[in-house]
Amino acid sequence: MGDRGNTAAWEKKKFLLSLVPLSLIPLFPLFGAYVPDEILIKWSEAPAASTWTIPGTGIAIFRVKTVGTGGWELWKLADHKKVETALPYVAAMAMGSGLHLSFVSSDLRAAKGSLQQMTNEDLTPLPPAITAYATNDYRYPFGRVPNDPMIASQWHLDAIRAYAGWDFEVGASNPVTIAVIDTGVDITHVELSSGTGKIWTNPGDPPGGGDQDANGKTDDCAGWDFADEDGDARDCLGHGTLVASVAAASTDNGTGVAGVNWKAKILPLKIFPDSGCNTADSADIVAAIDYAVWLSTAYVSSIGRMVINMSLGCPGAGECGSVCSDNDAEKDAISRALAHGVLVVAAKGNCGDSLRVVPSDYSGVIGVGAVNRTDSLASFSNYGSGADLVAPGSEIFGAAKGGGYSANSGTSFSAPQAAAAAGLILSVLPAATKAFQVNEAGALRHSFRL
């Protein structure tokens, strides 16, 4: 790849997806809670027996195991008592040795007073003596791991720290729909089947009844094919199927792969014609965007918040070096989407240069570049202006047209990770306002490791 330009500017752009909402969702704990009935103690003289009653309390604890080589032991409270009942007294004993505690309780003063009521004769001969501080035993979980058997092939999930993020949100809090403007989606695939509920279905226009919701589209019950003007949005190439599965494949169902957003619905919006399936035009892109916006207002309860993903761009990989002029109709449609609270995510392109790419470089669009397995900018990824975020884009594994699975590389498969992550935020914060939209790239940077 050629010169990337200013290194500092690139580093400023480089962000990995983390899925752990830190700044937007501060109510979530960042670490695992302490074990409720366990305590770590370091002794100068440990109890001879495996069970010990804390003086003056009647609280019995028993030894679980030695921890490391520093003299620490893990003890457990009998009868599943809460550790809060014992820690103040253990802490007070440690303070008697002049040692600092990492756990400070509001009951500490009372506990120390209780111990001081004992006579010197009672305290002096006590062989168990705590000379270091006691603290809670914290657990640091790997995260929530779905039971999809092929996740080992999805290296990007580990790279974006999806497992940790799923501890907090999988997209179930409030409905979110991801409109995939692409080559279509294989809705017969087990990962994306309408039968399993992954495809958004139009409640106002069930099949066979004509144009029941009077939107000019007969039987648009599971998306729409804008290139061929019909309700059959099945994939003509395979590109859109992989994109959709990366974003929101059926997850934790014991089959295949996992999507970044477990519960989001997919809305297939096909803009590439069955004949050739290699070029889309601006008219169909505009129509697809406006349709997604219309659905987001007409069917709020089932659509929820809408996110548009466009894993496409001009110039394409076969036209690298050329410059694509802005299209006012496309920009106008995107502005309407943003004004209606619809997020728009687009791939930054695969020419490995810093030239302008549309639609990712349009104002308000989240443009997504790609990194490889070493967390470096992928050789094919565009960068510079319009690259708001990056996400894994090399050898991304997911659903393939026809029912199988395959891997492919490109910013096309980085973008849906960002779209799905945005959907996770909107599932938790469904009332996010336009102010959030204006700063969507910054919000993702600070909320996720993208």
- Residue 239 falls in the annotated catalytic set: yes
Q: Which are the contacts of 109, defined by CB distance < 8 A and separation ≥ 6?
A: none
The CA-based angle 403-405-410, given to 5 degrees, is: 125
**Count of other CB atoms within 10 angstroms of residue 7:** 8
Rounded CA-CA distance 324/46 in Å is 75
Rounded CA-CA distance 372/393 in Å is 6
Catalytically annotated residue among 37, 182, 213, 220: 182
- Residue 189 falls in the annotated catalytic set: no
Phi first, then psi: what are they for 431, rounded to 5°?
Answer: -100, 15
Catalytically annotated residue among 194, 360, 409, 412: 412
Are the CB atoms for 306 and 295 separated by under 8 Å? yes
CA distances from 449 to 29, 51, 167, 293, 390 (A): 17, 45, 15, 28, 10
Coil, strand, or helix at residue 305?
A: strand
- Residue 446 falls in the annotated catalytic set: no
Rounded CA-CA distance 129/127 in Å is 6
**127 residue type, one letter:** P
Coil, strand, or helix at residue 418?
A: helix
Catalytically annotated residue among 213, 239, 394, 414: 239
| DSSP code per residue over 81-141 | --GGGTHHHHHHHHHTTT---S---TTHHHHHHHHHTS-HHHHTT---EE-S--B--B---
| DSSP code per residue over 45-83 | E--SSSEEEETTTTEEEEEEEEETTTTEEEEEEGGG--G
Active site residues: 182, 239, 412
